[in-house]
Structure 1
Amino acid sequence: MTFGIAVGGAAADAVRRHLPALVAEEVASGITAQNPTLWGADAESESAVRLGWTESVAISRPLVPEILALREELHAAGVRHIALAGMGGSSLAPEVITRTMGAPLTVLDSTDPGQVLAALNDRLAETAIVVSSKSGSTVETASQRRVFEKAFTDAGIDPTTRVIVVTDPGSPLDVSARAAGYRVFNADPNVGGRYSALTAFGLVPSGLAGVDIAELLDEADAISLPLAVDNESNPGLILGAAIAGTSPLRDKLGLLADGTHIVGLPDWVEQLIAESTGKLGTGLLPVVLEEGASEIENALDDLLLVRLVDDAGQHLFLDGDAAEVRVSGTLGAQFLVWEYATVVAGRLLGINPFDQPDVESAKIATRGLLDARPEPAPAAFVSEGIEVRGTPEVIGAASDLQSAIDVLVEEVPENGYISIQAYVNRLALPQLTELRALLAERSGRPVTFGWGPRFLHSTGQFHKGGPAVGAFLQILATPAEDLDIPESPFTFGELIQAQASGDASVLAAHGRPVLTLTLTDAAANVSTLFDAAR
């Protein structure tokens, strides 16, 4: 089966209520025909240039032989390792594709100096790096490209033989990369980053890493016609109605990988939905869950559980009252169905699913800090080697690490959530993800976890543009070793610090409570942090 879906409880009610109108209004065929009027007059100008993903399969087909030829060329030159510098959808889709297909790919979507150094020191002589950015102006990707160019040059390797660029045609990166002699793949400019899984952004790094990308396109192609037809069996309409049509709105989507063969899909869905819908004070907040999560056990009345399974069954409607959605399907089909469902959700929520107005605010704040490079604000206090900072409502009532976390949890409203944002080396501190379940059980509310700065290109939009019900825990670490960025006045350590501080300032300006904890000795401080969180 290419794709299967089943809905129960409030999700089933939502489908019954909204599906007939979606069919009657010819929403599915309108999306496929790239009708920009489906999301209202305010969204029309952007929608007109953001619906190219509906024909990604056809547009991407000619890229396949070109990518496979380059793979053979690189292999003949001794390249055995592919790395990817990209943020948001540019890295999350290839990560899911390669992990699911068992193809090795090093994804560099961080500015933590330790994580960048780990990528640089991993078989550089056998490495080619794909640099993915629509414009090339993304500070993370530009910095990663420069440091790899220098490393190749220092090792006596011509960067033009090892750097592959994916970007929009005519972008500043496209122009400069071609002038420098790099191999360039252009993606469809009428596709936003988070909808780009089946474009060059998803296919080039995946194909070079060894994935059968023709098969991935075949999987998407098999669901294309069912998604384009205006009838009540259309999986994109069903899924969109289920996730955005509940009444009252269950605006937290619990994403659970429950036996699916696809690895990491919840993380990709998270960025697609959060950045597309979190604006104008509304939106859907995806929460990536593990089996046995307290959010599931507590049956929260504002959470809709979405189970990603290998077989959703033959019946659309599930027995029982549990508010639940089950989806199954091939990876290519999942990408396309979720993209349709997300823009259907945008229509039901009354927002433009193609813009991200609040992402830029954090970038502006970061640039301001990098230009001025002020001394870091002094810690309110230091508790057991952990520097504690935060907004007044959090720090003003705290005297040590434990009380600071206590106050942050108390700041979460009845319909709120906690967001953990870890601006650290995720290769060195993977155990930090376990904080999610701890704080969820303690608070009784949904808790999201994001690695910084990559979440800024996904859930970061929802945190500032969605409902004002979040409380934010930032975790930073003093780097054991910093790393210069060539042709830049700041280092990677200064960059990630500025990104965290910039986002914290924007969150505070929006009235969100923020607690920032800096681990001065990460290895020694982690157990202290966990003890306080308990």
Structure 2
Amino acid sequence: MTTDLLAAVEAAAGLAVFGAPAAASRREPVVARLAGLGTEPVRHALTRSRELLPQLAELHDELGDLDHVVLAGAVQPRDAGAGPETGSPGRAALAVARTLGLDLTVFDGPDPARVCGLIEDEELLRRTVTVLGAGSGDLRRVLLAGYMEIGLTEAEAARHFVATSGPEALLTGADGLAVVVAAALAGADVGDLLDQAEAVLPSLEADTDNPALSLGLALAGADAVALVNDGTGLEALAEWIAPLLTAAGLVPVAAESPESPGVRGQDVTTIAYGGSLAVGTMPGGRGTAPDIAVNGPLGAHFVVWHRAAEIAARLRGARPHEPAGESGDDVTLACTDGSIEIFTTADVRDTAGALRELTAGVHDHLSVVVLLDPASEAELAELRPLLAAATERPVTLDTAPETAADLRNGTFLQITGADAADVAVPGTAYTLGELRADRAAAARRAVTRHGRPLLRLHLADRADGVARLLAAARMLRA
């Protein structure tokens, strides 16, 4: 892989891929394997989104006093055949919101801490409008109960919800377009984003100036991919890209900086992304030039990365995610270290020993999933570089339990915690915390069924557990 970003460039509609193999020279040998990857599904989605714009403008004016937007996604455990989300609406919405500086919150799962934070803040709840995506019925019931508790009637509370599918949908043709609706209500210029996406669309089937094909070919030959924000205006895009690459059989590392542990390595392809970049440079000083740089407007990024991941999956022969199922065994409690309960089959006595045992066995990559509250997850972001430095292998970190696409490889660490407060789902016999625990357990069973190494650390006291865990991780290089 060249690190001379001027050596090869594929560009279209303001988006350029520097440093990947030129698409034109490699299209013929692979064209038959890419048959069926047409642009019609993308064109159809963009057309449907465009048709929504007049309705969204009216709705934005009508709900002008509701200036905090929530996008509610699925909270139920996934069906037996479901795998990781390949194009998460919640993650796409966060990329739009953080890039444009919009006030938008995503509930992309049954996290009681996030929901409690909203329903316990009466002032915020009163100025919140929630866009209901597919599978968000339980969250609607919880939030509706919250509105009733602060004195709103059911009719008054209904104004705070915008359904995008089903008989209650307020928008004609919005089914499946929750991210467009949420972004528009939060104040995004959706028309501009659609313009950016539509401008790059013709390049997807071109023989030359096809950045999606060029990037897809590069991804097809990669193993681990380190995604680095180059600091030129795009935020939270790596978190949206990562599930796409996971589904293509790659190991995506959302890196903290160009100099973070795990960004470089013989089997790591470093890809910088941003809105604009002086070619050949990266923040961090000398020696930080990426293998590939992808630069252009946000709407074009969404189209090009999605197509590139499809191409890579097809060329790599990536298999669909297998169902979690019930046949695997969950790991059992091995010992307790203060507020940390350690679940593993290894003979360990404390957290440091458990981490040392786990990291010593990492030969491919380490997948870390943190299922806590936002503050604890933010603190534990330090784990990824600490573990990458200790293992000298790619380390991924995510906050969704269903993140492993290919369980033939990898070592797994899942971090869970006791909920300080839980939320009962009205009309059911379960809570949001129980739903989340069920999803986490299903993910663990999938790992153990495939015989992959797994360590689960459960923080009975989150604040103390986070401190203990980070202290143990820092000891790995001592």
Identity of aligned residues (%): 30
Alignment of 1:130-529 (within 5 A): 130-133=131-134, 136=135, 141-155=136-150, 156-157=152-153, 158=155, 159-167=157-165, 174=166, 178=167, 181=168, 183-184=170-171, 186-187=173-174, 200-229=177-206, 231-244=207-220, 246=221, 250-275=222-247, 277=248, 283-291=249-257, 292-296=259-263, 299-311=264-276, 324-351=291-318, 356-358=320-322, 361-362=323-324, 364-365=325-326, 379-390=333-344, 392=345, 395=346, 397-413=347-363, 416-453=364-401, 456=402, 459-460=403-404, 462=405, 466=406, 468-529=408-469
Q: How big is the shift at 1:331?
A: 0.5
Query: Aligned partners of 2:425, 2:37: CA distance in 1, in Å?
Result: 43
Tell me the amino acid that sits aligned with residue 31 of structure 1.
L
Query: Aligned partners of 2:71, 2:294: CA distance in 1, in Å?
Result: 29
Structure 1, residues 288-313: CA drift from partner, whole Å, max 9, x if none? 112111223xx322211111134356
Query: Aligned partners of 1:321, 1:385: CA distance in 2, in Å?
Result: 40
Query: Aligned partners of 2:115, 2:326: CA distance in 1, in Å?
Result: 23
Query: Aligned partners of 1:421, 1:242: CA distance in 2, in Å?
Result: 27
Tell me the amino acid that sits aligned with residue 81 of structure 1.
H
What runs of 5+ residues in structure 1 fail to find an aligned partner?
A: 35-51, 168-173, 189-198, 278-282, 370-375
Q: How big is the shift at 1:225?
A: 1.8
Q: How big is the shift at 1:377?
A: 8.1
Query: Aligned partners of 1:321, 1:402: CA distance in 2, in Å?
Result: 32
Q: How big is the shift at 1:214?
A: 0.6
Pair 1:59 & 2:48 matched: yes
Q: How big is the shift at 1:17?
A: 6.4
Q: What's the TM-score, normalizing by structure 1?
A: 0.76
Give the helix-richer structure, 1 or 2: 1
Q: What's the TM-score, normalizing by structure 2?
A: 0.85
Question: Which residue of structure 2 lines up, in the alignment, with residue 94 of structure 1?
Answer: 93
1:132–1:220 distance in 2 versus 1, CA, 3 Å: same
Structure 1, residues 165-200: CA drift from partner, whole Å, max 9, x if none? 223xxxxxx1xxx2xx45255446xxxxxxxxxx72
Query: Aligned partners of 1:103, 1:114: CA distance in 2, in Å?
Result: 22
What runs of 5+ residues in structure 2 fail to find an aligned partner?
A: 1-12, 75-84, 281-286
Tell me the amino acid that sits aligned with residue 273 of structure 1.
L
Structure 1, residues 1-57: CA drift from partner, whole Å, max 9, x if none? 6201111xxx54x858633434x65959x63355xxxxxxxxxxxxxxxxx224322
1:343–1:477 distance in 2 versus 1, CA, 3 Å: same
Query: Aligned partners of 1:377, 1:330: CA distance in 2, in Å?
Result: 45
Query: Aligned partners of 2:190, 2:68: CA distance in 1, in Å?
Result: 18
Question: Which residue of structure 1 lines up, in the alignment, with residue 114 of structure 2?
Answer: 115
Pair 1:129 & 2:101 matched: no
Q: 18, 26, 29: which one pairs with 1:18?
A: 26
Pair 1:31 & 2:37 matched: yes
Tell me the amino acid that sits aligned with residue 2 of structure 1.
G
- Alpha-carbon contact 1:15-1:242 (below 8 Å) kept: no
- Alpha-carbon contact 1:412-1:469 (below 8 Å) kept: no
1:398–1:67 distance in 2 versus 1, CA, 3 Å: same
Structure 1, residues 57-111: CA drift from partner, whole Å, max 9, x if none? 2232110111111111111xx3221111115512111111111111110111232
Query: Aligned partners of 2:230, 2:458: CA distance in 1, in Å?
Result: 34
Question: Which residue of structure 1 lines up, in the alignment, with residue 8 of structure 2?
Answer: none
Q: How big is the shift at 1:469?
A: 2.1
Structure 1, residues 148-178: CA drift from partner, whole Å, max 9, x if none? 12212333143321211223xxxxxx1xxx2
- Alpha-carbon contact 1:255-1:308 (below 8 Å) kept: yes
Q: What RMSD over aligned residues (CA atoms) do the two structures have, in Å? A: 2.8
Question: Which residue of structure 1 lines up, in the alignment, with residue 6 of structure 2?
Answer: none
Query: Aligned partners of 1:32, 1:505: CA distance in 2, in Å?
Result: 36
